[in-house]
Amino acid sequence: MAIFKILIVFASLFFYNFSLLAVESDTVKTSSSDFETGNFEDEIYDPLEPINRAIFGFNNVADKIVLEPVAKGYRKLPSPIQTGIGNFLSNLKMPLVIVNQLLQGQGKNAGESTGRFVVNSTAGLFGLFDVADKIGLEQTQEDFGQTLATWGVGDGFYLVLPIFGPSNVRDTAGMVLAYTTDPVNAYAVREGEPWILPVRTATNAVDQRSKIIDEVNAMRNNSLDYYAAVRSSYYQYRKAAILNIDDNSQTPLPLITIEFE
Amino acid sequence: MRLFIQTFSLVLLINQSALADEASSWLKTEIDFILNAYNNSSTTNETRFLIIENTINYNFAGAGIAKFVAGKAWAGAEKNTKKDYITSFKRHLALNIASLMKGYSNQEYKLINIKYDSKNKVSLIDMEIYNETGSLVVTWRVKKSKERYFVIDLLVADISLVVTKRSEFNSMLKTVDYDLHEFNKLLKDQNESSYNKFIKSN
């Protein structure tokens, strides 16, 4: 009983201390320039918002009842199998990555990606093992959307594609271009095995979704406007990919200054 | 003169590195505190969240972020409305961070790549979170003020939490004609819904 009382006193002191600290942090204030809107794109060009929201709603339901449960099941597979599938799918993308790196004038990256593709397709058993990473050939990603952006093509308006999710006019054009020029897809169609295309796309979606289960749930459960949160996230993610930001000191810094009253 | 410049640059670099290390050490203590709260099975869900919420409120520049996120709705609002909004926003921020950190509570992490941006006086601390199949980098933006550190932003895969919140809030503020008083009602409802989900899912 005495121990119980001590615990109650200790817990009270603990929370009292915390609330004092919290009060102290309430005195933090910012300067007036902190909430000027000029530095950030609050408005993303979204003229089809009502239609996009409807498609987004459909995708969200599809995600909840199909993709997320499948992704959760996929995450229960032994990790070497998950890693192998991820590596294999990533290796299949490499020919187009190389093409896009060349189109963007990234000779060094294209050379490294070619090396990665050759090493992983041979020593890595058709891409199942990422041997290239172990010898210092780092993975970099480029797609047609990024290439078009590098060539000066603007975003166009925001689009939500059924099943495929957030995009914009430029990235959708890039996606169509990738789908039609991908050598693996072309080979599958030529060999009379077109079923490979949707299977590849679906497996890729499950693999990618399995990597962000916690993040998506955190955003979905805590957003006032989940649609707007996903839209903003998509634009930030693509902007970083286009600018090849590998260092977060280059991402826009919110002007939050701290002063004490 | 050249020697003076070299010495000055060296001192500056050492100082910047010391600042970044100090921020990193502080951040590690706070992250561990939150993650340990998740791994402590003897506390109730409500108590656990209270501990995490207090830690987040104390360590994040909540009021500053709230004002930034409110954008143009801030300027025209009444003093009490602003106060009310900041209180609700802090709970909203805590629910967001707590929900995200819960997902990382059973994973190993390491603070890597610590940098000090001397122009903006902000430390950028990369936290690499490892799971069985790979890793994810979360970047903490930390600012020092009056001998204390504050988190001013969190970036997950190049996506800023603060910028996303600003865009999301702007979209909702538009529906209430940028009236912060009306917006507070929406924010409170969302907090209640998130709180119920978060406590139930724990």
Mean of the pLDDT values across residues B175-184?
94
Tell me the shortest Cα–Cα distance from A147 to chain B, in angstroms: 19
Supply the pTM of this predicted model.
0.82
Give the integer Cα–Cα distance in Å for B73 and B93. Answer: 18
Question: Pick from A214, A224, A256: which is nearest to B68 by CB?
Answer: A256
Better pLDDT: B138 or A41? B138
Binding-face residues of B in 6-45 toward A, CB within 8 A: none
Residue from A216, A205, A215 nearest A89 by CA: A205
Question: Pick from A22, A30, A82: which is nearest to B133 by CB?
Answer: A82
Which value does ipTM take for this structure?
Answer: 0.84
Mean of the pLDDT values across residues B58-81?
90
Tell me the shortest Cα–Cα distance from B73 to chain A, in angstroms: 9
Burial-class residue B29 by CB neighbours within 10 Å (0-12, 13-18, 19+).
exposed
Mean of the pLDDT values across residues A128-143?
87
Mean of the pLDDT values across residues B170-174?
93
Tell me the DSSP string of A184-209. Answer: HHHHHHHTT-TTHHHHHHHHHHHHHH
Q: Which of A28-32, A103-107, B24-28 has the highest mean pLDDT?
A: A103-107
**Given this model, what pLDDT does residue B101 score?**
84
- The owner of tokens 């800023």 is B160
Residue of A nearest to B52 (CA): A18
Question: Pick from A29, A218, A254: which is nearest to B163 by CB?
Answer: A254
Tell me the shortest Cα–Cα distance from B2 to chain A, in angstroms: 29
**Given this model, what pLDDT does residue B133 score?**
76
CA distances from A182 to A25, A58, A176, B90 (A): 54, 28, 10, 48
Better pLDDT: A36 or A215? A215
Query: Across chain B, what does the average pLDDT equal?
Result: 85
**Given this model, what pLDDT does residue A257 score?**
58
Q: What are the chain B neighbours of A166 within 8 Å (beta carbons)?
A: none
Give the integer Cα–Cα distance in Å for B152 and B23. Answer: 13
CA distances from A206 to A10, A85, A200, A211, A243 (A): 48, 10, 10, 9, 27
Better pLDDT: A179 or A27? A179
Mean of the pLDDT values across residues B190-200?
87
Tell me the shortest Cα–Cα distance from B19 to chain A, in angstroms: 16
Q: At residue A20, does pLDDT exceed 60?
A: no
Q: What are the chain A neighbours of B68 within 8 Å (beta carbons)?
A: 30, 34-35, 254-256
Query: Across chain A, what does the average pLDDT equal?
Result: 82
- Three-class secondary structure of residue A125 per DSSP: coil
Q: Report yes or no: B129 at the A interface, CB cutoff 8 Å.
A: no
**How many CB pairs below 8 A link A and B?**
184
Tell me the DSSP string of A63-122. Answer: IIIIIHHHHHHHHTS-HHHHHHHHHHHHHHHHHHHHHHHHHTT-HHHHHHHHHHHHHHHH
